[in-house]
């Protein structure tokens, strides 16, 4: 049904850091470059986290036509600590948000600025939009290869490959390594089951997460008007082309932080100011002190270690990693989230590590609980990035030309790791277990030019250049964004 109202996109990302931050980048872009009115909806829990980290001003209307809102999520509130919850709890809490989100949509219609589409990566939300007669636009925050891997879930079940039938042996990496998944268009024919999302590692025929993945993929295929990906064609064009045959129109508009910055520079001739209202992409307070510390280090001399916003290491892994870093002899900046420290029985990043390690690495190591990652990766003191391979981290590593040491833990991270190490060759995978000798060896390998570091560093530089090319005015992501604004977000364009 055509509408004469201006385009108004209501965003509701899955409420975890990696999804919220990239959705906010997209929302900013659509608002600034496409002239789209935006309502950006946080879960109540994340609203509290943003305010705690950046103050009330962070959610004030910073620019005409851009506003934040929040919906109750039914999660318990803790005044001191709203650190990451188990993603499964978050996944199943979304149901509580949907009625409130519908209310926001009804209120927008009643106030004369009706929503013209809903942008989300949550199937309940996309389906609710459809029910209300609005176009549902999927902003998918994983890589294209991660999405393609998830789209295989049903096929893997139909072929009897998952849930894994047997005992613990079947869950072992040996089995996951030797099971080849060679039928996926746009993907290498030697993909192993191991390279697929972590949800395949289940023996439960009623696994609720597997069920959610299957239903969400079905929703993407049948109920959405468009799929937006934070990637660029030179990096993942082949898999995107293959997915275009099974999904609604796909728009690749990444890397979003770089496209946002490039758009601002072209529009104003100046660097982006990042007003507080629009910059609250980080749900945690950032420790800017690490940038000053990096400023005292030589170029490419520091290893940056960060496992994103959700996954946890065990105490043993933390200790092995610590000694591996110390033994490598290289300087490091290591982020250990407060909730990670807490689950492993420590108080803050240093409290969770052996005192002897903290003492021994004074001056060589900087420990903190959250940092401005994009600025850290841009810093010339960073020589390599030990990452869990969350998609934002991998893409931020690639766009800044930083070689990676990959230690995937869950979700799509294994797929991203496979592509980073084998296809794009910007990374090296740490073995299945974190062991101090192996960590020390690999850190040296990637940091020291004369060994393998040289090759991955060269590739990383090449990919940085290609990422930069994607966001210039004639670049693929720039062009795709304009096309998407016209085809999906223009007033009256109800796809
Ligand atoms: O100290 C920190 C740590 C992280 N970040 C930012 O937080 C985001 C983290 O995102 P990501 O690297 O994707 O990791 P997760 O938070 O683990 O992301 C979840 O969401 C991603 C996108 O769907 C998936 O690829 C991951 O597997 C899933 O764990 C990035 O933008 C980082 O720049 C900071 O700014 N400071």
State CA 370 to chain mean position distance.
16
Identify the pLDDT of residue 3. Answer: 45
| Marked catalytic residue, from 8, 19, 54, 330 | 19
| Whole-number pLDDT of residue 277 | 44
Nearest-angstrom CA–CA distance, 25 and 17:
12
Report the nearest-CA residue for atom 20 of ligand 1. Answer: 18
Beta bridge partners of 192: 180
- Residue 6 pLDDT: 78
Any ligand 1 atom below 6 A from CB of 373: yes
Residue 398: φ, ψ to 5° = -65, -45
For 52-60, the CB contacts below 8 A with 24+ separation are 52/82, 52/285, 53/280, 53/282, 53/283, 53/284, 53/285, 53/286, 54/276, 54/279, 54/280, 54/282, 54/285, 55/276, 57/276, 57/277, 58/276, 58/277, 58/279, 58/280, 59/277, 59/280, 60/276, 60/277
Cα of 256 from ligand 1 centre, angstroms: 14
Q: Say what the pLDDT of residue 85 is.
A: 63
Domains in the chain (CATH in brackets) are 7-144+213-276+471-489 (3.40.50.2000), 288-468 (3.40.50.2000)
Q: Hey, whose CA ends up nearest to atom 26 of ligand 1?
A: 390
CA triplet 468, 389, 280: central angle to 5 degrees? 65
Residue nearest (by alpha carbon) to ligand 1 atom 33: 373
Burial of 419 (0-12, 13-18, 19+ CB in 10 A): buried
CA distance 88 to 6: 37
Q: How far away, in angstroms, is 108 Cα from ligand 1 center?
A: 31
Q: Is 121 a catalytic residue?
A: yes
Instruction: Give the nearest ligand 1 atom to 306 CA.
Output: 3
pLDDT of residue 2: 47
Mutate to test the pocket of ligand 1, among 392, 397, 413 (most ligand atoms within 8 A of CB): 392
25 is catalytic: no
With a 6 Å cutoff on the Cβ, whether 231 touches ligand 1 is no
Ligand 1 centroid distance, CA of 16 (Å): 8
pLDDT of residue 235: 98
Cβ(106)–Cβ(194) below 8 Å = no
- Expressed in angstroms and rounded, the spacing between residue 159 Cα and the centre of ligand 1 is 32
Q: Ligand 1: distance of its center to the CA of 283 in Å?
A: 11
Establish whether residue 377 lines the binding site of ligand 1, counting it when its CB lies within 6 angstroms of any ligand atom: no
**Cα separation, 36 vs 18, whole angstroms:** 23
User: What is the C-alpha to C-alpha distance for residues 33 and 48, in angstroms, rounded to an integer?
Assistant: 29
The pLDDT, as a whole number, for residue 238 is: 98
Give the Cβ contact number of residue 221 at 10 Å: 14
The burial class, CB within 10 Å (0-12 / 13-18 / 19+), for 314 is exposed
Report CA torsion sign: 115, 45, 318, 353. positive
Residue ID of nearest Cα to ligand 1 atom 17: 308
Within 225-370, strands assigned E span 226-229, 250-252, 302-306, 331-335, 365-368
Q: Is any ligand 1 atom within 6 A of the Cβ of residue 391?
A: yes
340 lines ligand 1 (CB under 6 A): no
pTM of the model: 0.94
What pLDDT is stored for residue 1 in this prediction?
45
Best CA proximity match to 364, nearest among 297, 318, 314: 297
The rounded Å distance from CA 369 to ligand 1 centre is 14
- Residue nearest ligand 1's atom 6 by CA: 373
**Is residue 19 lining ligand 1, measured as CB closer than 6 Å?**
yes
Catalytic pick from 73, 82, 121, 233? 121
Residue 95 confidence (pLDDT): 83
Structure-block tokens of residue 379: 């810093």
Q: What is the ipTM of this complex?
A: 0.99
Mutate to test the pocket of ligand 1, among 19, 143, 309 (most ligand atoms within 8 A of CB): 309
Ligand 1 touching residue 408 (CB < 6 A): no
Low-confidence ranges of the chain (pLDDT < 50): 1-3, 276-277
Residue 109 alpha carbon to ligand 1 centre in Å: 34
- Centre of ligand 1 from the C-alpha of residue 210, in Å: 22
């Amino acid at each position: 049904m055509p509408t004469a109202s201006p385009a108004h996109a209501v965003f509701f990302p899955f409420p975890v850091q990696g999804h919220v931050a990239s959705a906010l980048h997209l929302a900013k872009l659509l608002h600034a470059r496409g002239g789209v009115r935006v309502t950006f909806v946080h879960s109540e829990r994340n609203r509290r986290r943003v305010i705690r980290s950046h103050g009330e001003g962070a959610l004030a209307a910073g620019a005409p036509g851009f506003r934040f809102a929040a919906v109750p999520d039914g999660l318990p509130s803790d005044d001191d600590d709203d650190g990451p919850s188990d993603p499964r709890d978050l996944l199943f809490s979304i149901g509580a948000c949907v009625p409130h989100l519908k209310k926001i949509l009804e209120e927008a219609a009643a106030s004369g600025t009706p929503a013209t589409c809903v942008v989300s990566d949550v199937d309940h939300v996309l389906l609710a939009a459809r029910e209300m007669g609005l176009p549902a636009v999927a902003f998918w925050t994983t890589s294209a290869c991660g999405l393609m891997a998830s789209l295989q879930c049903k096929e893997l079940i139909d072929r009897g490959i998952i849930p894994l039938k047997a005992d613990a042996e079947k869950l072992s990496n040996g089995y996951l390594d030797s099971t080849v998944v060679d039928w996926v268009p746009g993907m290498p024919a030697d993909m192993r089951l191991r390279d697929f999302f972590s949800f395949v590692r289940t023996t439960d025929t009623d696994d609720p997460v597997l069920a959610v993945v299957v239903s969400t993929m079905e929703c993407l295929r049948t109920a959405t008007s468009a799929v937006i990906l934070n990637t660029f064609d030179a990096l993942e064009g082949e898999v995107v082309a293959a997915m275009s045959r099974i999904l609604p129109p796909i728009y690749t508009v990444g890397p979003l932080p770089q496209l946002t910055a490039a758009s601002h520079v072209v529009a104003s001739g100046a660097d982006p100011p990042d007003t507080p209202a629009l910059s609250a992409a980080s749900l945690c307070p950032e420790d800017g002190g690490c940038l000053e510390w990096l400023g005292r280090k030589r170029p490419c001399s520091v290893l940056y270690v960060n496992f994103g916003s959700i996954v946890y290491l065990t105490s043993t892994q933390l200790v092995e990693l610590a000694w591996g870093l110390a033994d490598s002899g290289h300087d490091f900046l290591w982020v250990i989230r407060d909730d990670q420290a807490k689950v492993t029985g420590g108080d803050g990043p240093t409290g969770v590590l052996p005192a002897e390690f903290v003492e021994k690495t004074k001056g060589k190591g900087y420990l903190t609980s959250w940092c401005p990652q994009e600025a850290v990766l841009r810093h010339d003191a960073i020589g390599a990035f030990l990452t869990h391979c969350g998609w934002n981290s991998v893409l931020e590593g690639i766009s800044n030309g930083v070689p990676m040491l990959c230690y995937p833990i869950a979700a799509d991270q294994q797929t991203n790791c496979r592509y980073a190490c084998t296809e794009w060759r910007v990374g090296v995978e740490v073995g299945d277990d974190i062991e101090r000798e192996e960590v020390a060896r690999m850190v040296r390998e990637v940091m020291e030019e004369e060994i393998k570091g040289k090759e991955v560093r060269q590739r990383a530089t090449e990919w940085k250049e290609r990422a930069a090319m994607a966001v210039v005015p004639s670049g693929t992501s720039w062009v795709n964004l304009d096309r998407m604004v016209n085809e999906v977000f223009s007033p009256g364009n109800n796809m």
